[in-house]
Amino acid sequence: NVVFVTGGNGFVGSATVLELIKRGYKVKGSIRSQAKADAFNKMYPTESKSIERVVVPDLMDEQRMTSALSGVDYVIHMASPFHMNFTNNVEEMLKPARELTLYSRIKRVVLTSSFVAVWDLMKGNGLWPEHTYTAEDWNPATWEQAAGAAHPLFVYSASKSLAEKAAFDFVEKEKPGFSITTFCPPFIWGPPGQPDLTLGNLNTSTWVLWWTLSGQAKEIDETGLPVFVDVRDLAYLQVAALTNDKAKNQRYLAISDEWYMEQLVNIVKEEFPHQAYRLPPTVRTRGPDHFGYDVAKTERVFDIELIPLRKTVVETMKFLFDKESVE
């Protein structure tokens, strides 16, 4: 069984590729440059024997994608452009999906969406304390609103929801030979396993944690999105979804636990007392009032007990403090 992955060298991508290999899959990974693949192979010499690389500088290149997808049974699409270009986001999701219809052998496409495709930023900056979010909720922002919006988070959020919605619409309308499963994670943390990682090139969500918990942030930031999931759980879910019949054309929240900034700082002070001197004093003893969330569907379908906050924070920070001591 061959799984085509995009974004396989990133934070979520590396964890997912390693999970695939652990489960016995062969991986065909699209890369933009050979250098990234070389770095991954060096870091994971055993696992890399199960990975075939295909250079696809542009996922919109139909000719390259057509040949890249031959012999593929499943797809996990995790690549995401660095910028917040709305049109590109949609295109990157839709066009590859369309290409996949040519290959009746493909059974399932898994998309890494985001909790920002679920929330409504106009309701208390997304925090909407009266509401309980489920996978039935969709960020209601329209293309027109997003096109004219000045707030980058609004545009980014809309880009994720519209792209995800377009993928579902595509499957419903075109009835291709495959079904899709999407996951909507909020902040993703956990020990980062991507190649060539330094404290200077952390992926965004890991950087947020490091910035606050290494004491670089002079003041504790507001807690903007007070929920998280561990990258190892997301990797497990994305791989399990490939063969789970219940997950056909379904959407799942991937949320483990809630958090707020001062709580993170306190966890580090308790678990790494020798690092406490670097950290700012914590005054607040509770996070912002915020939405509830219901992940019962995710836990039931995938029979998973999600990793709790303290374990994720401790293991991520141990990894980062260790890295700092050798860099």
Residue 316 burial (C-beta neighbours within 10 Å; 0-12, 13-18, 19+): buried
**In the complex, minimum distance from the CB of residue 90 to ligand NDP, in angstroms, rounded to a whole number:** 13
- What residues line the site for ligand NDP (CB under 6 A)? 6-7, 9-13, 32, 36, 59, 78-82, 112, 114, 185, 187-188, 194, 203, 205
**In the complex, minimum distance from the CB of residue 154 to ligand NDP, in angstroms, rounded to a whole number:** 15
Q: In this structure, how many other beta carbons lie within 10 angstroms of the beta carbon of residue 304?
A: 16
- The rounded distance, in Å, linking the Cα atoms of 293 and 297 is 11
Q: What is the DSSP string of 138-182?
A: -----HHHHHH---HHHHHHHHHHHHHHHHHHHHHHH--S-EEEE
Start-to-end CA span in the chain (Å): 39
Q: Which two tokens stand for residue 248?
A: 């056909």
**In the complex, minimum distance from the CB of residue 59 to ligand NDP, in angstroms, rounded to a whole number:** 5
**In the complex, minimum distance from the CB of residue 4 to ligand NDP, in angstroms, rounded to a whole number:** 13
Neighbouring residues of 119: CB distance < 8 A, sequence distance ≥ 6: 126, 128, 133, 137, 139, 157, 291
**In the complex, minimum distance from the CB of residue 78 to ligand NDP, in angstroms, rounded to a whole number:** 5
**In the complex, minimum distance from the CB of residue 311 to ligand NDP, in angstroms, rounded to a whole number:** 17
Nearer to ligand NDP, 177 or 211 (CB): 211
Residues 119/185, Cβ–Cβ less than 8 Å: no
Nearer to ligand NDP, 276 or 304 (CB): 304
Nearer to ligand NDP, 36 or 232 (CB): 36
Nearer to ligand NDP, 13 or 191 (CB): 13
Q: Which two tokens stand for residue 7?
A: 């974004």
Residues 113/275, Cβ–Cβ less than 8 Å: no
Q: Compute CA 92 distance to the chain's CA centroid, rounded to the nearest angstrom.
A: 16
Nearer to ligand NDP, 10 or 226 (CB): 10
Phi and psi (nearest 5°) for 32? -95, -25
Nearer to ligand NDP, 208 or 268 (CB): 208
**In the complex, minimum distance from the CB of residue 188 to ligand NDP, in angstroms, rounded to a whole number:** 4
Nearer to ligand NDP, 12 or 68 (CB): 12
Phi and psi (nearest 5°) for 43? -75, -35
- The rounded distance, in Å, linking the Cα atoms of 130 and 291 is 6
Residues 244/271, Cβ–Cβ less than 8 Å: no
